[in-house]
Amino acid sequence: MKRFFILAMLAAPAQAQNFTTQAEVQPILEMTRAHWVGIGTATGRDLLYFTHLLSWRCGVGEIRYGLNGAAPDTVLPMEPCHRETNQPNAIRELPFIGYALNEITAVSVRVVFPDGAELVQEFSRAEIRID
């Protein structure tokens, strides 16, 4: 006779994180600085992509950027966090801004968190070309 045993979990199952708080998002952005922005040129224009940063916007207060040596003072418009859905970080709006071809030589980015903490990074065009 074969015996089968069923092991019951005594602890509650792990809950998936939505990555919608500063505590969840800040360490990720600190580790992934090289991927914050990208420049694509396949359309014959410079498209400055913010896809990575916007994917974590729910835990961010504000994103600012500057081009070609300018301080990162321009506020990046962000769509709201979709907290009422199963995918609060889903991007529904275009995650890029268009410029003339080869207009962008450098990009500086400042990520401001709800508690006022900031992460700042500068990128040369060569570092963030994606095509």
pLDDT of residue 73: 98
Average pLDDT of the residues of the chain: 90
Structure tokens at 7: 């092991």
**Burial of 84 from C-beta contacts in 10 A (0-12 / 13-18 / 19+):** exposed
Selection from 118, 127, 102 nearest residue 64 by Cα: 118
As a whole-number percent, the residues of the chain with pLDDT over 70 amount to: 87
As a whole-number percent, the residues of the chain with pLDDT over 90 amount to: 85
What residues pair up with 66 in beta bridges, in sequence order?
108
Is pLDDT above 70 for 2?
no
pLDDT of residue 65: 98
pLDDT of residue 1: 53
pLDDT of residue 14: 43
**Burial of 15 from C-beta contacts in 10 A (0-12 / 13-18 / 19+):** exposed
Give residue-wise pLDDT tens across range 8-23: 444 444 444 678 999 9
Contacts for 124 with CB less than 8 Å, ≥ 6 apart:
105, 106
Give residue-wise pLDDT tens across range 65-100: 999 999 999 999 999 999 999 999 999 999 999 999
Give how far Cα 85 sits from Cα of 14, 63, 67, 113, Å: 19, 23, 34, 22
Per-domain boundaries in the chain: 22-128
| Cα–Cα distance, 71 to 127 (Å, whole number) | 18
- Tell me which of 2-6, 46-50, 97-101 is least confident: 2-6
pLDDT of residue 3: 56
